[in-house]
Amino acid sequence: MAEVTTPEIILQTEEADGSFRCRGFTGVPAARRVWIAIVSSGSPTGRGYVRQLGDELAAVLLSSGPEAAVAPMDCPAAPSDVKPAEHPDRRKTLVLVGAADAKFQDLPWHQAWQSDADDSCVMTVLPPAEFEDLLDDAIRKNPTHLLRRVNGSRWKQQPSETLPGVLARAEITSTATRVFISYRRLETLPIGLQLFDRLTHEGFEVFLDRFSIPPGYDFQRRLTQELEDKSMVVLLESKFLHDSKWTQHEIDFAKRHRLGMASLRMPDVEEKDSLISATVGPRIKLVAADLSGAAKPVPNPENPGQTMNEWPELKADVLDRVVAEIKAAHAAALFRRRHALRADLVAALNAAGVNTNYQAVGPLVVKMGPDEHLVWLTTRPPEVEDFRGVYVAHFARKGVSPSSRGVIVGPQAALEPDRVERLQWLHTVSQCLSFDEGNLNGFAQCVKNGVWK
């Protein structure tokens, strides 16, 4: 079992004959070390779903950063033989894939993978069928059964639609799925509202200015803070979008801070008039047939006598396609931001003469003289969960000097006064510090000099 402890990510998938294949991944800029086992409910159809989901997940991991690599590895005969408690350094996630032609059975070993104490969990991935029809009688009759307690992830067209949920549940990416919708109300409000509703129901935290800025707040500062909080921007490209200074600010911020971006280009916008590069995320060109009706002419307030198109909602099947692309782009954006931040931080520390144990997964250990600091990176402003995790990890280490620190590095520049006060309070109660990602050189000097400010 020595091979099991080497890769940062282990992916174990059921094969067509019921045996299991393991792949180990290194160099993935994930939040932590994980073990994912993907198992069917017992039919050739279900095993085909497992293969599709496993291959898509492998492709996502391999495309997550320039250091990502895969190698075959030995694994136990089946996930039923795995004892999650024996692998305390990993997040263990059992993904049970349903199929209409094979019901989930009441198998006691599933419960072994559902333990907060062992950092393990179970999730179900379900085809477009009635949930009760996927369960055997013993599970249907037991309302407290594990597979009825856990919330399933459903797909409509193919299993890969559930990938963002798998990545988040395994904590390879953040469980905080956050999206900022950038748009011009006069032209695309119906689509903005539609995406806000659907993505919210899909578990995203969504910013839409119509709902998200309370009265009395500084509009521009709140916009910037919301952008810092989000992993990606969904841009609704309309013909007169370039007239909005706020939208241009949002696009510029997304590019400067390497946020993910997906765009929906309205039918009356030509490629040459697009405000973003073809290299930035998925770009979906809409045609009139994708929309639920004809565009409505509305006055253009910037040019009296001129009209613009207000586009109606997307058709249901188009909305499904758009949301699937946004979810995939969101996962990719988290990988890219974490990799870029880690690389920039290591470069700043090395330039200052500070040693790091560079690794793609988990906290960095930064050494300077007798001090050994534990540094956690976050792609959004630090929150309570970050301080809790760093506090536990830092003070669990043995033999560190009293002047060693647990430190969080992430975006903080646009925080409003109430959130700054909360950060200062967290510094005090956790004895851990936080620094803004915009001043990595300053942070490196603090580490070098042993003076925290």
Q: Comparing C-alpha atoms, which of 276, 213, 280, 267 is closest to residue 242?
A: 276
CB 336 within 8 Å of CB 258: yes
Segment among 14-23, 30-39, 123-132, 278-287 with least mean pLDDT: 278-287
Kindly list the structural domains of the chain, giving each domain's residue range(s) and its CATH number in brackets, ordered by start: 2-169 (no CATH), 178-336 (3.40.50.10140), 352-449 (no CATH)
pLDDT in tens, 175-189: 667 899 999 989 999
Confidence band (pLDDT; 50, 70, 90) for 4? very low
Residue-level pLDDT at 3:
38
How high is the pLDDT of residue 443?
92
Mean pLDDT of all residues in the chain?
86
The percent of residues in the chain predicted with pLDDT above 70, rounded, is 93
pLDDT of residue 267: 95
Q: Decide which of 386 and 264 is more confident.
A: 264
Query: Could you tell me what percent of the chain has a pLDDT over 90?
Result: 39
> Are the C-beta atoms of 98 and 124 separated by less than 8 Å?
yes
Per-range mean pLDDT, top range of 32-46, 151-165, 355-369, 379-393: 32-46
* pLDDT value of residue 435: 92
- Winning range, highest mean pLDDT, from 39-53, 280-294, 327-341, 423-437: 39-53
Residue 170 tokens read as: 């395994």
**Phi and psi (nearest 5°) for 79?**
-60, -25
The pLDDT score that the predictor gives to residue 360 is 61
- The yes-or-no verdict on residue 305 having pLDDT over 50 is yes
**CA dist., res. 348 & res. 339, Å (int):** 14
Instruction: Inform me whether the pLDDT recorded for 2 exceeds 80.
Output: no
In the predicted structure, residue 254 carries a pLDDT above the cut 90: no
pLDDT per residue over 263-301, tens digit each? Answer: 999 999 988 877 776 556 788 999 999 999 999 999 988
Strands 406-410 and 371-377 turn out to be parallel
**Stretch 313-324: mean pLDDT, rounded?**
92
The reported pLDDT for the residue numbered 176 is 66
Through-space distance between the first and last CA atoms of the chain, rounded to whole angstroms = 46
Mean pLDDT of 364-381: 86
Q: Which residue has the tokens 């690599």?
A: 69
State the pLDDT at residue 219: 59
Q: What integer pLDDT is reported at residue 30 of this predicted model? A: 79
Q: Which two tokens stand for residue 45?
A: 């159809």
For Cα atoms 130, 135, 136, give the angle at the middle one, nearest 5 degrees.
140
> Which of 19-33, 220-234, 344-358 bottoms out in mean pLDDT, i.e. has the lowest?
220-234
94-122 pLDDT, tens digit per residue, is: 999 999 999 999 999 999 999 888 889 99
Q: Which residues are CB-contacts of 255 (< 8 A; sequence separation ≥ 6)? A: 261, 280
pLDDT of residue 1: 36
- Arithmetic mean of pLDDT, 410-423: 84
Who contacts 361 (Cβ-Cβ below 8 Å, separation ≥6)? 8, 9, 28, 29, 30, 31, 32, 33
Please report the pLDDT score of residue 211 as a whole number.
Answer: 53
Q: Please, which residues bridge with residue 181 across strands?
A: 234
**Residue 216 scores a pLDDT above 60:** no
- Model pTM above 0.95: no
Cβ contact 391:431 at 8 Å = yes
pLDDT at 451: 85
